[in-house]
Chain A
Amino acid sequence: MNMDRRIVFILVALAVIIPMLLSVNLPVSVSEPTQKFYDYVEALPAGSTIMIAFDYGPSSLAELNPMAKALLKQCFDKDIRVIGITLVVDAPTLVSDLIQEVAAEKEAVEGEDYVFLGYRPGDVQVILGIGTDIASVYDTDYNGTAISEIPMMQNITNYDQIDLLVDFASSDTIESWIIYANVQYNQKIAAGVTGVIIAQMFPYLQTGQLVGLLSGILGAAEYENLVGAPAKGMQWINVESFVHLLIVVLVIIGNITYFIHRAREE
């Protein structure tokens, strides 16, 4: 028996829409990789510097924006300075909007508490360039202000002054950061990635090359929980729950019909 694919599509749409309308709230427990990530940031003293690479475009915004937002809130609450960059060409506008939104909420000051340097072409070149001198890669920030005129950048030259690098990634940029920033410059790295590539990250977590790891929308929900600011992550993980359940049910129905069909043929 083959169900018309349009019925499957309608079921998926309903599995997304109904939980959103009903605002279902399932309890979210925190996994070890997320807890490690949170603990590492929590342990940083006020005045530390985190570089966040927002390496995702609009297609992965739903999964990665909530976790980025939760981390930014935690950083601004703890007076940790944030340097934002991106290796993805279509990311700057969405990243700039995101940082400004959280900064306005937390009353963080641009140039003192955070700076967004924008995009420069070339993944490996940028990662290695930051290792020698950030100003050689970014002579100005996203607004065009010379890096030498930005107060919080006065004593930051390269990875030596960055306490943690966080990569929010939807592709293999995280492996480039590990290979070139961690291995070559001993830069501590944590990552938040889309659910699709999470399985690739576990070897790096086990070796300690990643100090923490957020896994897709589940990681975002867990982090929002830890930061104490439930938002989109918490909302969407509940929606995702129903879609996962639907897919599992569809797979079970598909297999039952398959075995019935096979038994009849025999």
Chain B
Amino acid sequence: MKRQVPLVLCFVFGIAMIFTRFSPHSVSQWIYEEVISWVLIIGPFALVLATVTLIQTHTTRIRRRTEHWQYSLVVFAGLTIMVVIGIRFGPQNSIFEWLYNNVQLPMDATMFSLLAFFIASAAYRAFRARTFEASLLLITAVVVMMGNVPMGDFIWNSIMSWSPWADKVSEARQWILDNPNLSARRGIILGVSLGVISQSIRIILGIERSYLGGGD
């Protein structure tokens, strides 16, 4: 029974939602709108689940004194302070905004900014024209990188101003994005979409049951 009920619900709602997509009838549209409003209610439970999982994970770390367990205390301190202030006084409270603007925002921005340093270091160490394919990738990357900034146009045009190839760096970058890149991406999108459709059918028909947890 524990497994049959979710399977039946999944089948009924899956078929119903496919049906509503193709039927403009008022009953069909009413079902669609009703289900959407249910989904809006169910959605926030994901936040609750995420919070519970976070608390469980870090409680376990503290209890077992795993490596760097002290950082889990920082997680709890941050979580408690923001939740208490946010719920009690609202997100427009001056303390909440101060913490956001002066703690969270610079920390997030710093983490992302560090990427520039690591990308530069990794590019210097790993980007080698070892094979024909690697050389092709290297040339493409250089063209796109330089076409992505005004410096690329500036250097190219300064050198090639006398030739018919002036102003061609941005065009080359755009061609790469519009042709080889677009073709490859479209292939990936089609492949993923077909996979999603087949997986959805398997789930609706109860063939794929891994979402219920455990095996069959």
Contacts and interface: CB of A to CB of B under 8 A. Distances in A.
Given A129-B40, A243-B116, A218 B149 contact: yes
A251 B178 contact: no
A60 B112 CA distance: 8
A248 B120 CA distance: 9
A206 B182 contact: yes
A91 to B, nearest CB: 10
A230 to B, nearest CB: 13
Given A58-B105, A199-B185, A251-B142, A93 B100 contact: yes
A247 B145 contact: yes
Contacts of A203: 182, 185-186, 189
A142 B90 CA distance: 10
Contacts of B92: 96, 142-143
A40 interface: no
B116 to A, nearest CB: 6
Interface stretch (A8-16, A73-81, A106-114, A148-156): A8-16
B124 A254 contact: yes
B177 A61 contact: no
Interface in B32-54: 32-33, 36-37, 39-40, 42-44, 46-47
A244 B154 contact: no
Interface string A173-200: 0000000000000000000000100111
Contacts of A133: 33
A175 to B, nearest CB: 9
B117 A245 contact: no
Given A2-B125, A250-B120, A251-B138, A237 B152 contact: no
A248 B82 CA distance: 43
A97 B100 CA distance: 12
A255 interface: yes
A17 interface: no
Contacts of A136: 36-37, 40
Interface stretch (A21-29, A44-52, A161-169): A21-29
A241 B46 contact: no
Given A3-B124, A132-B33, A242-B151, A8 B174 contact: no
Contact of A200 (B37, B129, B185): B185
A255 B127 contact: yes
A57 B105 CA distance: 8
Chain A interface bracket (under 10, 10 to 19, 20 to 34, 35 or more): 35 or more
B120 A247 contact: yes
Nearest to B45: A121
B159 interface: no
A242 B148 CA distance: 12
Interface residues of B, number: 61
A172 to B, nearest CB: 11
Given A199-B181, A206-B182, A246-B120, A132 B36 contact: yes
B124 A251 contact: yes
A8 B120 contact: yes
Contact of B178 (A11, A59, A206, A253): A206
B119 interface: yes
A202 B142 contact: no
A101 to B, nearest CB: 13
A238 B46 contact: no
Given A26-B150, A237-B150, A251-B127, A126 B120 contact: no
Interface in B134-175: 138, 141-142, 145-146, 148-155, 170, 174
Contacts of B202: none
A32 B174 contact: yes
**Nearest 4 A/B pairs, CB to CB:** A122-B43, A241-B151, A58-B108, A26-B150
Interface of B: 32-33, 36-37, 39-40, 42-44, 46-47, 90-92, 96-97, 100-101, 104-109, 111-113, 116-117, 119-121, 123-125, 127-130, 138, 141-142, 145-146, 148-155, 170, 174, 177-178, 181-182, 185-186, 189
8 contacts: A57-B108, A94-B105, A97-B101, A120-B40, A125-B40, A133-B33, A218-B149, A238-B150
